[in-house]
Amino acid sequence: MIARPFIASTKVLAHIATAVALGGVAVSIHVRAEEIPISIGTQNTTINTVTAGVVLKELKLLEKHLPQTGKFKDRTYKIEWQNFTSGPPITNGMIANRIHIGAMGDYPLLVNGATGQQQKGQETQLIAVVAYNMLGAGNGVVVHRDSPYFDLADLKGKSVSVPFGSAAHGMLLQTMQDRGWPQNFWALSNQSPEVGTTSLQEKRIDGHANFVPFAELLPFRGYARKIFDGVQTRVPTFHGVVVRKDFGEKHPEIVESFIRAMMEANEWVRRNPMLAAERIAEWTRIEKEVVYIFLGPGGIHSLDPTIKPRLVDAIRTGRGILQRLNRLKDLDTEAWVNDTYVRRVFREQRLDYDAQLKSLANYEVAGHDSYCGVPIKQPRRAGEVWMASGEILPFSSPDCTLGAMRRFNTEGRKYSVAYLYDQALGIKVFAEQAFYATEGASKPRIVPFLLKKDAEAHVLKSGGKVVTLADALKQTTGGK
C-alpha cells in the first residue's frame, strides 16, 4: 500500500513548527511568517515633513509602533522608504501602487486626491496633517542677493522659475488671481529646487519661487534675498499625510501606527528643538539653523496632526483656482478627507481631538533674558542667538537681542545666527536678512522687518529711517 503524502495547509504551517515521527525519524516543519510590505514616500529636505519621514526612519519610530500581537503575531514587515524632492513623484508612485503612504504639500495633495478619484481603485485619502502655517508662511520667492528687485511686482515680464505642481506654484497662482495679474505676468518656467538654485546663483533667472525650506535656505547660504513670503497671501498652507484608500481599509492598524509614530516624532522635536535641528541637519544636509527657524519654538510651522477645517477650506480654495485655470477636473473633499484614523489614535491616548482641532497654539520662545535681565513675556517680540559654543540664548525684544549681539561682538564671542520676528508679517526671520526701521532720536527703538517695503512703510508713519543690521547694532540702546 502506498502512503499518500501529508500536505499541511498554509494556515496550519504558519502557526506550527512540529516534529512528526515517521519511521523513527524526526522531521521539523519550519514556516516563514507572512511579510507585509509598507512603502512610504517622503521628502527629506522638505523640513516640515520630516516628522512623517526621515525622523521616523532614523529613530525607527514606525517599527516601535507597528502591531505585533493578535493577527499580527506571526507577521513581519518590510518597510521601504522612498525619498523625493517634491510631491508629484510620490503621487505617481501611489497611483501605480508602489507607494502606500506619502507626505506632501497642499497643492500636491490636492492633485494627489483628484488624480486618485479619477481612477477607480486608486483612490487616496488625507489622514493627518504634518505641519501648517495658518497664514501661508513657508513658501516664498527669492532673487539673487545683488538683484535690483525688492517686490514681487518688480518681476513683471521677468524670468521666474518654480517647481510646477508644488505648493510654491500654488502660491504664485493664488497671488496672480488675488492681484488680477494675467498668466503671462512672468515668463514662468518649471525648475526643480536643485536646478532653480543653480539658475539663481548663475543669474540665469530673475526670481525663483520654492517651498520649504528653500526661501529661507538660499538667503541663509548667502546668495539670495527673499522678496515675497507666502504669509502675504493670508491663505493657510500645510503638509499632510495621504494613504492609498485600499491600503488603509486593509491595514487600519498600520495607518494608526504611522500616526502614533509621527506624534512621537513631533514630541521628540519639541522636547529638545536644538538637538532635533542638529540631528535633522545630519540626515538631510539642510543646515541646522534653517531647520530650527521652521520647527524650533515659535517657528514658521506648527507640528499638529489634526485636520483643521480652515486647512480643508484652503484645499477647496486651491481647487477653485486650479479649475479656473483648467489644471484640475475636480476633487470630492468630503470623500477624500478621512480623520477617523487620527481620531482613534487621539482617543486611545486619552487626548481631546476636538479641542486640539480648535487650537492654533505653538510652543513659543520662553525663559529669562540674560542681557536685559527680564523674563520673556511677549514671545512674538522675542529674539534668539545661537552661540558657537552650542547654546541658544533667548532675549525679550529686538533691542535686547541686538544689544546682546553687540556685546558678543565686542567680547569676541562667536555666534552662528540670530532670530527675530518680523513685526508686520509675524514670522520668524534671520536677523542678518532683515531690514530695520528706527524709531525716535535720542534712544531709538529698532523694529525688524523681512521686506524692505514694510520697513519703509513703517518709517513713513513713525519717522526714523531704514537701516541695515550693521547700523542697527550701532544704534540700538540694547533695551536699556
Same domain, residue pair 377 and 441:
yes
pLDDT of residue 446: 92
Same domain, residue pair 97 and 121:
yes
pLDDT band at 21 (very low <50, low <70, confident <90, very high): very low
Residue from 187, 135, 194, 160 nearest 426 by CA: 135
Residue from 198, 197, 223 nearest 210 by CA: 197
Is the predicted pLDDT of residue 18 greater than 60, yes or no? no
pLDDT of residue 464: 87
pLDDT of residue 22: 38
Considering the chain, what is the average pLDDT of its residues? 91
pLDDT of residue 475: 87
Same domain, residue pair 253 and 330:
yes
pLDDT of residue 165: 86
Same domain, residue pair 195 and 268:
no
Same domain, residue pair 313 and 171:
no
Of the residues 206, 233, 260, the one at which a domain ends: 233
Same domain, residue pair 180 and 123:
no
- Looking at per-residue pLDDT, the higher value among 184 and 462 belongs to 184
| Stated pTM of the model | 0.90
Is the predicted pLDDT of residue 19 greater than 60, yes or no? no
pLDDT band at 381 (very low <50, low <70, confident <90, very high): very high
pLDDT of residue 260: 98
Range of the domain at 250: 34-128+245-358
Query: How large a percentage of the chain has pLDDT more than 90?
Result: 84
Domain count along the chain: 3
Residue from 130, 126, 171 nearest 152 by CA: 171
Mean local confidence (pLDDT), 397-423: 96
263: cell is: 506624534
191: cell is: 525648475
Q: Is residue 75 part of a domain?
A: yes
pLDDT band at 23 (very low <50, low <70, confident <90, very high): very low
Query: Can you tell me the distance from the alpha carbon of 377 to that of 374, in angstroms, rounded to the nearest whole number?
Result: 9
Close Cβ partners of 338 (under 8 Å, ≥ 6 residues apart): 125, 126, 127, 248
Of the residues 324, 358, 392, the one at which a domain ends: 358
Same domain, residue pair 211 and 268:
no
Q: Is residue 388 part of a domain?
A: yes
Query: Can you tell me the distance from the alpha carbon of 46 to that of 366, in angstroms, rounded to the nearest whole number?
Result: 27
Same domain, residue pair 251 and 347:
yes
pLDDT of residue 480: 63
Of the residues 329, 358, 387, the one at which a domain ends: 358
Is the predicted pLDDT of residue 32 greater than 80, yes or no? no
Same domain, residue pair 92 and 112:
yes
pLDDT of residue 112: 96
How many residues does the structure list for the chain? 480
Q: Is residue 224 part of a domain?
A: yes
pLDDT band at 33 (very low <50, low <70, confident <90, very high): low
Same domain, residue pair 385 and 338:
no
Is the predicted pLDDT of residue 13 greater than 50, yes or no? no
Query: How large a percentage of the chain has pLDDT more than 70?
Result: 92
Mean local confidence (pLDDT), 4-27: 38
Is the predicted pLDDT of residue 40 greater than 60, yes or no? yes
Do 15 and 74 contact (CB within 8 A), yes or no?
A: yes
The CATH number of residue 217's host domain is: 3.40.190.10
pLDDT of residue 8: 41
Same domain, residue pair 392 and 466:
yes
- Whether the upstream peptide bond of residue 252 has omega within 30° of 0, thus cis, is no
Residue from 287, 267, 266 nearest 278 by CA: 287
Tens digits of per-residue pLDDT, 336-375? 999 999 999 999 999 999 999 999 999 999 999 999 999 9
Q: Is residue 336 part of a domain?
A: yes
